[in-house]
Amino acid sequence: MIDRLLYVDDEDDIREIALMALELDLGFQVRDCGSGAQALEIAATWRPRLILLDVMMPAMDGPATLAALRTREETADIPVAFITARTQREDLERLMALGACGVIAKPFDPMTLAERVRTLL
């Protein structure tokens, strides 16, 4: 079975690398977008199994996007994992407390990223 993943990050380079890293797992079908607003649209229609959400994004940041996802009926139950460069314990705990199913620290190891995501599913 193919699992749909949505990767949301405003950094194009990182998005491209993450996409390549995740697609190393042939069981993943990955889509990406560069903003929270786009993520809301795609999530509502495409219904991914998991959303990987960057925390620091202009306009609508990760936590705001998560909150918006939770308010919409069609996306309320989609698991969300944050990807962040702020990796101190307090940051991770704060993000977990927002209702994320996991937090992945940047920089991530691209060769093991897919495995890590798999453990979140």
Is 119 among the residues that bind other proteins (CB under 8 A)? no
Q: Please, what is the Cα angle at 33 between 44 and 75, to 5 degrees? A: 20
* CB count in 10 Å sphere of residue 11: 15
Q: What is the size of the binding site for other proteins (CB under 8 A)?
A: 21
Integer Cα distance of 69 and 63 in angstroms: 10
Looking at the Cβ atoms of 9 and 40, the one nearer to other proteins is 9
Is 111 among the residues that bind other proteins (CB under 8 A)? yes
CB under 8 A: which stretch of 32-40, 41-49, 59-67, 100-108 binds other proteins? 100-108
Looking at the Cβ atoms of 15 and 66, the one nearer to other proteins is 15
Integer Cα distance of 90 and 22 in angstroms: 27
